[in-house]
């Protein structure tokens, strides 16, 4: 019989604690609970866990300190940071501390469940996301060309502009994910030895996402497998091309992205993209 995956939830909010337990429980998992930072620290020091979810603002020992201590004791244990007192600095500190993901409350429980499942698969490495610039208004990272890593970095960047309306945040995150997936699949051939470079810049009037992939690029005029190239009156022609080439269903990324942000600009080679959202 397989050994159950051990999950530790450290949160002093009984309601959130109960929601997490209910959402994450499964026959192949054992969930332990701690209701303050010191209790969580004692559990982590006593035994290794396959996943830790820790509130940022804990009595006795805060979540970032718990993240750091977990990293020291059990470097391969993924830690998901959750908080009800969001700041951009906390998001950056979590990336710097090699947190697996970051969620602000109220929690999008479906996304938490998906991230937890990814963490428990154990295919991620501590250096899959590397911080290059750690300022909240200028965040720079490089990430391995792995789809599970894409979901992690999208979640971090979804949280950075948390002062925006929820719909705007989700639109920007969806647009960014489409471009990032294209960079991983087509630019990096999903090769974890290759890197995608990402920069997030927040100004008084705009939010900018810059993505550079390791590929040779492409021409927007020569993408028969993408919906953007469909001729008028033939909205699914690209799907037939994708089927012949053995590509997964899709191809709507660039077309969708242009509907979700204010500007999408590619460099001449086609391996660098800039997404711009104007702030009103």
- pTM for this model (two decimals): 0.86
Distance (Å, whole) CA 199 – CA 265: 14
Regarding beta strands 51-55 and 101-104, do their DSSP bridges make them parallel or antiparallel, or are they unpaired? unpaired
Asked if 207 and 267 count as a contact pair (C-beta separation under 8 A), the reply is no
Q: For tokens 């993924």, what's the residue? A: 78
| Mean pLDDT for all residues in the chain | 87
What are the structural domains of the chain?
A: 1-126 (3.40.50.2300), 127-280 (3.30.565.10)
Residue 238: pLDDT band (50, 70, 90) is very low
Residue 275 · residue 208 · CB < 8 Å: yes
- Structure token digits, residue 186: 């087509």
Is residue 253 scored above 80 in pLDDT? no
DSSP 174-226: HHHHHHHHHIIIIISTT-TTSEEEEEEEE-SSEEEEEEE-SS----TTS-TTS
Residue found under tokens 């303050």: 36
| Closest residue by Cα to residue 258 from 235, 228, 278 | 228
Question: Following CA atoms 263, 267, 268, 271 in sequence, which dihedral angle do they give, to the nearest 10 degrees?
Answer: -120
Comparing CA positions, the residue from 73, 12, 82 lying closest to residue 43 is 73
Strand blocks (E) in the chain: 5-10, 29-34, 51-55, 79-83, 101-104, 129-135, 138-144, 195-202, 206-212, 263-266, 272-278
Give residue-wise pLDDT tens across range 25-34: 999 999 999 9
Residue with tokens 């396959």: 50
pLDDT confidence of 232, banded at 50, 70, 90?
low
Signed CA dihedral, 48, 111, 196, 186: sign only? positive
The pLDDT tens digits for 47-102 are: 999 999 999 988 888 889 999 999 999 999 999 999 988 889 999 999 999 999 99
């Amino acid at each position: 019989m397989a050994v159950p995956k051990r999950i530790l939830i450290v949160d002093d909010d009984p309601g959130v604690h109960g929601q997490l337990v209910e959402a994450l429980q499964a026959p192949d998992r054992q969930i332990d609970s701690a209701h303050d930072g010191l209790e969580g620290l004692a559990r982590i020091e006593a035994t290794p866990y396959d996943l830790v979810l820790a509130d940022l603002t804990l009595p006795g020992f805060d979540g970032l300190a718990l993240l750091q201590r977990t990293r020291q004791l059990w470097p391969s244990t993924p830690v998901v940071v959750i908080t009800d007192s969001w700041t951009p600095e906390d998001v950056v500190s979590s990336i710097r501390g090699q947190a697996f993901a970051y969620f602000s409350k109220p929690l999008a429980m479906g996304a938490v469940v998906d991230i937890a499942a990814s963490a428990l698969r154990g295919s991620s490495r501590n250096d899959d996301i590397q911080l290059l610039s750690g300022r909240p208004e200028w965040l720079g990272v490089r990430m391995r060309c792995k789809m599970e890593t894409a979901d992690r970095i999208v979640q971090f960047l979804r949280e950075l502009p948390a002062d925006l309306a929820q719909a705007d945040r989700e639109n920007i995150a969806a647009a960014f994910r489409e471009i990032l997936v294209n960079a991983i699949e087509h630019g990096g051939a999903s090769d974890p030895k290759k890197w995608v470079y990402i920069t997030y810049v927040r100004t008084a009037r705009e939010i900018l996402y810059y993505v550079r992939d390791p590929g040779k690029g492409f021409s927007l005029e020569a993408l028969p497998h993408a919906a953007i190239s469909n001729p008028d009156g033939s909205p699914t022609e690209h799907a037939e091309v994708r089927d012949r080439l053995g590509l997964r269903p899709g191809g709507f990324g660039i077309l969708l992205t242009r509907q979700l942000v204010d500007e999408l600009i590619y460099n001449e080679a086609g391996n660098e993209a800039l997404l711009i959202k104007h702030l009103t």
